[in-house]
Chains A and B, each alone.
Chain A
Amino acid sequence: MPYETDYTNQGFTKVGTRVNRPDGVDKVTGRAKYGADANAAGQLVGRVLRSPHAHALITKIDTSKAEKLPGVKAVLTGKDFPDLTGGNRGLMDILENCMARGRALYDGHAVAAVAAIDADTANKALKLIKVTYKQLPHVTDVDEAIKPGAPIIHDWVRTAGVTPAPTTASNVAQRSEFGHGDVDAGFAQADVIIEKSFKTEQTHQGYIEPHACLATLGPDGSGELWVTTQGHFTFRNVCASLLGLEVAKLKVTSSEIGGGFGGKTHVWTEPVALQLSRKANRPVKLVMSRDEVFRATGPTSSTSVDVKIGAKRNGKITAATAELRYQSGAFPGMWAMFGAMTSFACYDLKNVKSVGFDVLVNRPKVAAYRAPSAPMAAFAVESVVDMLAAELGMDAVDFRIKNAAKKGTKASYGPVYGPIGIGPTLDAVKNHPHMKRKLGKNQGRGVACGFWFNFGGQTCTDLNIGVDGSVNLTVGTVDVGGSRASLALIAAEELGIDYEQVRVTIGDTNSLGHNDTTEGSRGTFSSGMATIFAARNAVDVLKQRAAATWDIPVEQVIWEAGEARAKGRQNNNLPPLSLKEIAAKSPRTGGPIAGHNEVVADGAGVSFASHMCDVEVDPETGATKILRYTVVQDAGKAIHPDYVEGQFQGGAAQGIGWALNEEYIYGDDGRLQNAGFLDYRIPVCSDLPFIDTQILEIPNPNHPYGVRGVGETSIVPPLAAIGNAVSNAVGVRMTHVPMSPPRILNAIETAKE
């Protein structure tokens, strides 16, 4: 292994301080350029025609009138995207999702696209495209889709993970089972068993910036793509594969990104924009409308989950099972598998089994949404955990502490845990002042735990020292929430220089080696790791230059506090050389000074959080107000505490929206009825209180600074924490998210009957 990634417990002078982000001024003055903010000479406007039907055969598309409209430069349908996938089913799914191939699979599925000289002409052209549909039966509900006789979405899908392999088509794309021990024996030992079913509705990441790109692709197969994305390298590779381009000839630049949360890890219109550009041989700017974002990008699954947990009178869980049905939209996914893996990850269980079923429906292709699939499973499991504690007459936090996973626990998804933070977060909850606040009438308190894997992946950074001693750090992960500041802190820490001396740039695909998509809470973890190593490489060069200047062996040079110092009494007469001094002389001592690193940042370290929440429910209207909300999470090491807190607060707020308001509402016609921010209501400022946070730092043994990813876990507990709080407030167990006013009133009414 080329680099030592072990945690070293070093001291810090920069890391852990709350410095101002380097891109702050750009972002408060309107100067920062996002996806829709770039333009090119001669650019065309791209627009996409979408299916109004949930499921239909496309028997004919007549584009002739649109093509003849003056100002229209290119028109595309599925026929303009030859199959270059080489039999790769996953790639074909992406291609077919970008543009329908003979069949529209959901309301909003792209069926044609145009590029024209202006928006007006492009809109007129869309109206002139005549599509003849033959409507097919559709299904949008996850439970309906697995019933016998449900419309089959794809006749080629056979349920994977079942032995013997099935021979007939099914909407269940995959069955995944995890667990260990003997659950039947475990339940036989239980004094109390609780079994309950839950549903969660589909939600969208709801980033404020719609997808946008500016695509240029010439007849020579060379092109450029400016795009709002979490992974410009991945976008390059996928677009190149789908369109038959050489990877090196497509330069992808990630714009500033106006929120992603997993939704910008996948291509949607980008291959279409590139293909329009190739056909018209002019740049094409394609910006999605909000309606398109809701109907045709990748929300998270709606789910249906059954949980059963048994425990002894002493509070020890003896067995737990879960069956999880997650819809993945119109294309196979593995979202239920992640639900099955994460469902019981917080607990130390001898006998556990979770089975996930990935289900196809006529809805948009599901994409990752912040700790994908974990919040729904946690909602079901943490609700039953609360019910079980109540049945046993135990405090819900004590019950969790008694059963919490710890170092050495065999995780429900298989491996044995190293040092983990679930126990400490629960201890922090137990001792938190929040838990001692008095509750009034119609108020309730809820606690819940959450888990997410986190991961690292391929990473590459470049660190260049200017002649004035200022440092440019180029990274390949995008800055979704302040990571430039964190990475500059790390570089400054390693080099021993001022934070302000470091400038961080997000490199395009032609300036750095491949970087995996910024997902899995990996930005600061993995680019941070690569930055440490790149800086250490640069320090090696700095030491060599100093040694050469002094004419002593490099072994006698050490790097301390931003300067080279000559060791040993014989070198007492040599005054230290600062980074600035060495940099100033670099043109004559061997040229530019740089450090570079490529690493596969593995060992990201699993992440745990515990949340507490107080609510007040209006029994007349069913409306819920969040009174207090507190997040406790293990960050390993908080590089920039402000932005760690920001992740905790943002995840909690998204979870609160999911728990109380947000849902995709489909009509009987299979059409999405609330494709806008008016009717798909995300939390606004007046909906929320201040969100309190407590950062725990249990070092990740696999990172030099002990960093764990922090971005995702905070969205996992809120559904359950609020579910438990509302249930305690109204005295009825809530089993369906979102707990909108009508659902809460209905639950109260049903309980009365």
Chain B
Amino acid sequence: MVEITNLYKKFGKNDVLNGINLSIKEGGIFAVLGPNGSGKTTIIKTILGMVIPDEGTIKVFESNIKNNSDYRHKIDYLPQIANFPSNLKVNELIKMIKDLRGHTEVDKDLIETFKLEPFLNKKLGTLSGGTKQKVNIVLTFMFNSPIIILDEPTTGLDPISLIRLKELIQAEKAKGKTIIITSHIMSFVEEVADEIVFILEGKMYFKGSISELKTKTKQQDFEHAIANILTENHV
């Protein structure tokens, strides 16, 4: 599905990724964890081709993504910070993305799920952070792509929307999709993720299921298990 081999990336003098090897299987929810600045977003952006790696290869569905843009038809991406052109209206933005990616009807259901009807004719610059994130979610889930990448999907959401988002993620998983999530909210990850990978300073420290992590670190609780990796690796 997604195969990352020997990935290196530097930003100036800052080594962000130091030889990441990662293989993500088809189907299920895969969480990428790590403290701030550990390179989670950079990994995701390299998969999307927004950041160009210094070394290493990435294959999505068996094909190398270098100098390729068509494979992004198979990926839906929810960016970390919902930055939209501020002078565009919500429905104009949705129409534009549809024009670029293809027709879909799913957006109507999503707009209803997240109660966005009153905002459709408002400019994106005037929306609150949480509402922008909802628009962001609609844009991400309205296409039926086999891979979904969510970068900090819970940011700014109210409890009801958070429940709806979890339902949405589970529904997509039930369709056999692969979902890649990064998050700082450990309870959220524990609830949804089938497999996790822990990244620290651009290196991989753990890959496996949450129960495997708990046995490995001899901790009862997921948050303590994560803290245990951190202290063991003197951070």
Binding partners A and B = no
Interface residues of A, Cβ cutoff 8 Å to B: none
Interface residues of B, Cβ cutoff 8 Å to A: none
